[in-house]
């Protein structure tokens, strides 16, 4: 803004006060004009920026719109938005398809006759039959405790003869060993002494009885003789019983009575029954204490097989059940019957014992063997299919069922498993046609999508 200066009138300048007032007025006007100039510059600058900004926005916007509508940016925008959107939709569809693979129900599988023959597909009706449940128990073979003898001497002595050794077959009464026993000699001497006293008292009593009958002796003397004879007989019977307790038989006792000059120290160890010498703990010249084991004789015609029955299996074990005995390779070596089951649980093992009295099975069963017993329990009738017919489809057991539309994998619930069959407790009815051969091939081809129908 340009201001024209007015000429100063001389009359006004002449007065000092007037001049000073005029000077201040000019100065104030100058400052006001300066302030207005700065303010105007700011406003002009602000307006310029606003104009430039508005021009930039509108221009760029218009240009952007034109480029977006007509330029190279539109394909990029469309390619980015729509391409990614389509790719995202496709990826989402793939994900949904992948998830559907885990849960999608397979449709019927159509096979031609040629395909059925090629893949060996065989079909049969689901049948019902007796359900058997098998389980195994640990088993151990022992000697038959009722036919096992620990042969021990009743007196101490030195072995002067040893006539049997391990592995020998013996008969009842066979001589196993002979001991020279001082203890036996004392017992025999006591017996012979009481026997002589008894004979003497019998003679005295016979004489006193004759005198008493003739009224020659007194009654007191007769009764004393009768009492002495009774005491002698009691003493003889006592020493006789002692010899029996030491293992002397009635026949041996007669020999001692009739052959008073026989060797009194000889003690004979004999076999208690027909059997087999399985252990020998005596050697020639060895001193043996009374009740020290000298031989073990066992009847090997029968053996015990003890099954360890856990508490959870006790209700399935009973007397008379048939049990298969398996060796360490799983081969059946015997088939026996349970003789009895102990009513109590052993404190140490927490098991009960089911005992089998078994035949040695031609030497395949030997004492000390650890075996496995397989017990089979009948559980009634149910639908059963061959084990090979059951396949795993989508992590679940399934059976391929033939329908009018083709083969379909049918989820089933499995029950007890037999050696060749599996019980189906749910999902299959008797009479339905199922794949009994080739089910695995059918599953493999189904997973590859080789057949028609809705499947993956």
pLDDT at site 22: 55
Contact 420, 387 (CB under 8 A): yes
Average of per-residue pLDDT across 115-130: 85
Average of per-residue pLDDT across 423-437: 89
Same domain, 238 and 175: yes
Same domain, 117 and 213: no
Q: Which residue has the tokens 């129900």?
A: 105
Does the residue 71 lie in any domain? no
Q: Lowest-confidence range among 50-64, 130-144, 207-221?
A: 50-64
Q: At what angle do helices 182-213 and 219-245 cross, to 10 degrees?
A: 160
pLDDT at site 118: 85
Average of per-residue pLDDT across 316-335: 90
294, 291, 302, 279: which is closest to 147 by C-alpha?
Answer: 302
Average of per-residue pLDDT across 338-351: 91
Q: Give the torsion sign (CA, 58, 63, 68, 73).
A: negative
- Final residue in a domain of this structure, among 239, 267, 298: 298
pLDDT in tens, 245-290: 888 888 888 888 887 666 778 888 999 999 999 999 999 999 999 8
Does the residue 453 lie in any domain? no
Average of per-residue pLDDT across 27-34: 56
The neighbour count for residue 350, using CB atoms within 10 Å, is 10
pLDDT at site 450: 53
Does the residue 94 lie in any domain? no
Please, which pLDDT band fits residue 107 given cuts at 50, 70 and 90? low
Please, which pLDDT band fits residue 12 given cuts at 50, 70 and 90? very low
Average of per-residue pLDDT across 194-213: 91
Helices then strands, each counted (H, E), the chain: 8, 21
Same domain, 217 and 266: yes
Length of the chain: 456
pLDDT at site 285: 94
210, 225, 232, 419: which is closest to 332 by C-alpha?
Answer: 419
- What is the overall mean pLDDT for the chain? 78
Same domain, 387 and 370: no
pLDDT at site 26: 53
Residue 304 has pLDDT above 90, yes or no: yes
- Final residue in a domain of this structure, among 378, 395, 429: 378
Would you give the distance in Å from CA 61 to the centre of its chain?
79
What are the CA-CA distances from residue 294 to residues 284, 349, 368 (Å)? 12, 32, 21
- Secondary structure of 74-100 in the HEC alphabet? HHHHHHHHHHHHHHHHHHHHHHHHHHH
Does the residue 79 lie in any domain? no
Q: Please give the backbone phi and psi of residue 16, each rounded to the nearest 5 degrees, phi first.
A: -65, -40
Q: Which is more confident, 265 or 204?
A: 204
Residues 6 or more apart in contact with residue 111 via CB below 8 angstroms: 119, 121, 406, 407, 451
Q: Which is more confident, 113 or 169?
A: 169
Q: What is the per-residue DSSP string for 336-367?
A: EEEEEE-SS--TTT--EEEEEEE--TTTT--T
Count of the separate structural domains present in the chain: 4
pLDDT in tens, 44-96: 444 434 433 443 443 333 333 344 443 334 434 343 443 333 433 343 334 44
Q: Please give the backbone phi and psi of residue 12, each rounded to the nearest 5 degrees, phi first.
A: -75, -35
Contact 144, 357 (CB under 8 A): yes
Q: What is the CATH number of the domain that holds 363?
A: 2.40.30.170
Please, which pLDDT band fits residue 361 given cuts at 50, 70 and 90? confident
What are the CA-CA distances from residue 430 to residues 202, 387, 389, 433 (Å)? 95, 16, 15, 9
Q: Which residue has the tokens 């893949």?
A: 119
Does the residue 124 lie in any domain? yes
Same domain, 165 and 261: yes
Residue 109 has pLDDT above 90, yes or no: no
pLDDT in tens, 226-251: 999 999 999 999 999 998 988 888 88
pLDDT at site 443: 84
Provide the domain limits for residue 41. Answer: 10-66
Does the residue 76 lie in any domain? no
pLDDT at site 56: 40
pLDDT at site 165: 94
Same domain, 242 and 353: no
pLDDT at site 159: 94
- Reading the block at residue 42, the tokens are 């700011």
Average of per-residue pLDDT across 219-224: 90
Same domain, 292 and 192: yes
Does the residue 17 lie in any domain? yes
Does the residue 98 lie in any domain? no
């Amino acid at each position: 803004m340009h201001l024209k200066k007015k000429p100063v009138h001389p009359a006004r300048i002449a007065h000092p006060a007037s001049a000073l007032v005029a000077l201040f007025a000019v100065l104030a006007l100058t400052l006001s004009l300066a302030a207005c100039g700065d303010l105007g510059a700011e406003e002009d600058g602000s307006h310029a920026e606003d104009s430039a900004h508005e021009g930039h926005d509108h221009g760029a916007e218009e240009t952007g719109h034109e480029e977006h509508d007509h330029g190279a940016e539109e394909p990029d925008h469309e390619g980015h938005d729509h391409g990614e959107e389509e790719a995202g939709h496709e990826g989402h569809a793939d994900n949904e398809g992948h998830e559907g693979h885990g849960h999608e129900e397979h449709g019927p599988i159509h096979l031609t006759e040629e395909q059925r023959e090629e893949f060996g597909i065989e079909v049969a009706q689901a049948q019902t039959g007796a359900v058997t449940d098998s389980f195994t128990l640990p088993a151990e073979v022992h000697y038959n405790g009722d036919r096992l003898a620990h042969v021990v001497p009743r007196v101490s002595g030195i072995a002067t003869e040893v006539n049997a050794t391990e592995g020998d077959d013996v008969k009842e009464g066979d001589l196993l060993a002979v001991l020279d026993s001082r203890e036996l000699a004392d017992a025999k001497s006591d017996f012979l002494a009481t026997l002589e006293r008894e004979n003497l008292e019998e003679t005295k009593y016979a004489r006193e009885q004759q005198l008493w009958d003739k009224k020659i002796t007194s009654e007191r003397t007769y009764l004393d003789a009768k009492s002495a004879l009774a005491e002698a007989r009691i003493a003889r019977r006592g020493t006789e019983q002692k010899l029996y307790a030491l293992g002397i038989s009635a026949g041996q006792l007669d020999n001692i009575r009739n052959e008073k000059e026989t060797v009194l120290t000889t003690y004979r160890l004999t076999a208690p029954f027909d059997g087999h010498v399985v252990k020998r703990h005596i050697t020639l010249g060895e001193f043996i204490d009374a009740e020290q084991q000298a031989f073990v004789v066992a009847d090997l015609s029968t053996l015990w097989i003890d099954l360890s029955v856990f508490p959870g299996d006790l209700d399935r074990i009973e007397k008379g059940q048939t049990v298969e005995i398996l060796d360490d390779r799983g081969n059946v070596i015997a088939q026996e019957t349970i003789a009895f089951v102990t009513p109590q649980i052993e404190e140490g093992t927490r098991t009960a014992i089911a005992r089998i009295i078994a035949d040695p099975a031609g030497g395949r069963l030997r004492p000390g063997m650890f075996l496995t017993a397989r017990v089979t329990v009948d559980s009634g009738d149910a639908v059963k299919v061959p084990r090979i017919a059951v396949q795993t489809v989508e992590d679940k057991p399934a059976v391929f069922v033939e329908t009018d539309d083709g083969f379909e994998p049918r989820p089933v619930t499995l029950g007890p498993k037999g050696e060749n069959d599996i019980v189906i407790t749910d999902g299959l009815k008797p009479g339905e046609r199922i794949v009994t051969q080739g089910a695995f091939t059918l599953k493999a081809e189904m997973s590859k999508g080789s057949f028609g129908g809705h499947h993956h």
